[in-house]
Amino acid sequence: MLVALLSATLLSGCAGSDWAEPHPAPTAVGALAPGFAPSESPSPEATVNPARGSWASVRPSPGMRVVLLTAGHDKPTKVLVGAIRKWADDEDVELRTVTADGDPLGGVVRATKLKPDLIVSAGNDLIDPLATVTASHLGQKFLVVGAEVAEPTANVTAVDWSGASFRGEGLGMPSSYDPGTFTAARCARGIRAGIAAVLTGMSGVVLWID
């Protein structure tokens, strides 16, 4: 009896965890408030200034598959990771983590091989590797929070604010960079705004959430 119960427990714990199985694409639950998007569709690489909180009522349908791709142990990265994990827990998201310390490029490649609905990156060390990989994986959606790819393709959405906006390409840290702006509240707004954009089809842009 005990063996049978243990086996059932193990099987139930694995249920739904095989991402190779067919999976319906996630959809947006809820609606954007006025002011989230401009009246005309933004051009690729445009910066969009959504009205504060206009994304708050949008969430993913249950079971969205997300890879948290992270590199670095600095405080901003840790706060971002915490906000992303809390969002995933709150919204019934299937979250897997790929830690890319020491091999950011390899980490990005590993994340794409999981074929999630979305890859969310946290950490400035990932920006240049993302720029290398995203253009050759146009069918994979990416969300960058607290930084941005300098020349994003249509599958890459970014969320930034004053004090963030690292862009890589050997340019160094922008003079306006302020790690103190990576608060739990701002990072939470960032992930939710970015998810709302991805779910409603506004990708390839930078959301500025000041």
What is the total residue count of the chain?
Answer: 210
9 inside domain:
no
29 inside domain:
no
pLDDT at 12: 32
pLDDT digits (tens, 9 = 90+) for 47-94: 999 999 999 999 999 999 999 999 999 999 999 999 999 999 999 999
Tokens of 62: 């249950």
CATH number of domain containing 177: 3.40.50.2300
pLDDT digits (tens, 9 = 90+) for 187-199: 999 999 999 999 9
Structural domain that includes position 74: 45-208
- The separation between the first and the last C-alpha atoms of the chain, rounded to the nearest angstrom, is 58
Nearest to 120 by CA among 150, 76, 156: 156
pLDDT at 204: 92
Tokens of 118: 């979305």
Mean pLDDT of 150-160: 93
Amino acid code (one letter) for 100: A
What is the C-alpha separation between 106 and 127, in angstroms, rounded? 13
- Residue 197 near residue 38, CB atoms below 8 Å: no
